[in-house]
Amino acid sequence: MITVLVVDDSATVRRVITEGLNRTKDIRVVGAAPDPYVARESIMALAPDVITLDVEMPRMDGISFLAKLMQYRPQAVVVISSLTPAGSQEAMRAYRLGAAEVLCKPGSAYDVADAVPRLARAIRAAAAARIRAPRSSSLPEIAKTPLRTQALSRTSDQVLALGASTGGTEALRELLAGLPGDSPGTIIVQHMPPLFTASFAQSLDRTSRLHVSEAHGGEPLLPGLAYVAPGGHHLAVVRTGAHYQVELRDGPEIHFQRPAVDIAFLSAAKAAGANAVGVLLTGMGQDGAAGLKAMRDAGAHTIAQDEASCVVFGMPKAAIDCGAACEVAGLAAMPERIAAAFRRRLTHHLATEPS
């Protein structure tokens, strides 16, 4: 049984969340607090497995409390933030501080009941997460080199596909920071609500040599460019003539997610085949496993993150178990493993190219 402490200044929200979560088979709310000061005492007394934490509260805001909590008592936390530009910036800070998941706050207290199933899934992911204290220093901002108009024509037919969920925001930041600025065109699927993905793309752009932006659909996949799937839309790779481009799709959620990693990986397998590298990072559930298997079957090189470096080993484990991964690697080794895979592909291409 997963025990939960609900921290929210609204008595109505506390009641609705408590009643909704207590109807699940595996989650029980053991306490509720109206502000961080009461929450601190409740944490010491109740030792909950997971805390749900509202951002906007009196006396101390949720982000400030999260910073103190993760410094002195690292804890599985699901942050609930407003779906606004300011809220999306708070969400990015919450991830960097160590929040396992960040959800959108419903429009009113009475919409909370409809959001309880998604909250329950986030709580399960948080309970399974390997919680670590945040790093003392963040990744430095990286100056970009201008994109060349004829950038690496020999690698423009290659695609890098990355997928992640719980723990993925920081894993992706670390991975992209290690990739060279002329890496093949890259697609990124991180399970995240709408609007938050724009801020996430901006945060990746600041610490990566790649030019990272949220996808809008129709963008060409060229070396040095990376596109983040927007929350609420699936992202796919399609072939147009001699090049690839990004396509956004509606449609039902896959594995309770939109965007889903499987959609992106399956499209990369179909469009790029052996010209792609697929990487499945930390996350809860099975999203991406079938897609990564399709990529491997199509000739792509596929990599799954190892258990030791994952926050949650669920998605990579599912991929490994079904034979989808050509190799398993730690996060720190990922940039070189990816570069090596593309070098092998380029060497093979040059060896077989007509003279």
* Catalytic machinery residues: 165, 191, 287
* Amino acid at the residue 328: V
> What are the beta bridge partners of residue 53?
7, 79
Three-class secondary structure of residue 75 per DSSP: coil
Dist CA 191 CA 102 (whole Å): 10
Contact 265, 278 (CB under 8 A): yes
Q: What angle in degrees, to the nearest 10, is found between the helix axes of 289-297 and 261-272?
A: 10
For residues 180-201, one letter each, b for 16 or more C-beta atoms within 10 angstroms of the residue's C-beta and e for the rest, the string is ebebbbbbbbbbbbebbbbbbb
Q: How far apart are CA 297 and CA 324, in angstroms?
A: 8
Burial of 292 (0-12, 13-18, 19+ CB in 10 A): buried
User: What letter would DSSP give residue 26?
Assistant: S
Can you say whether the dihedral through the CA atoms of 325, 327, 333, 337 is positive or negative? negative
Which residues does 173 contact at the CB level (< 8 Å), separation at least 6?
Answer: 139, 203, 204, 207, 208
- Please say whether the beta carbons of 78 and 103 come within 8 A: yes
In whole angstroms, what is the distance from residue 74 CA to residue 182 CA? 38
Q: Tokens 């499987």, residue?
A: 262
Which DSSP helix (H) or strand (E) runs through 284?
none
Helices (H), 151-245: 168-177, 196-206
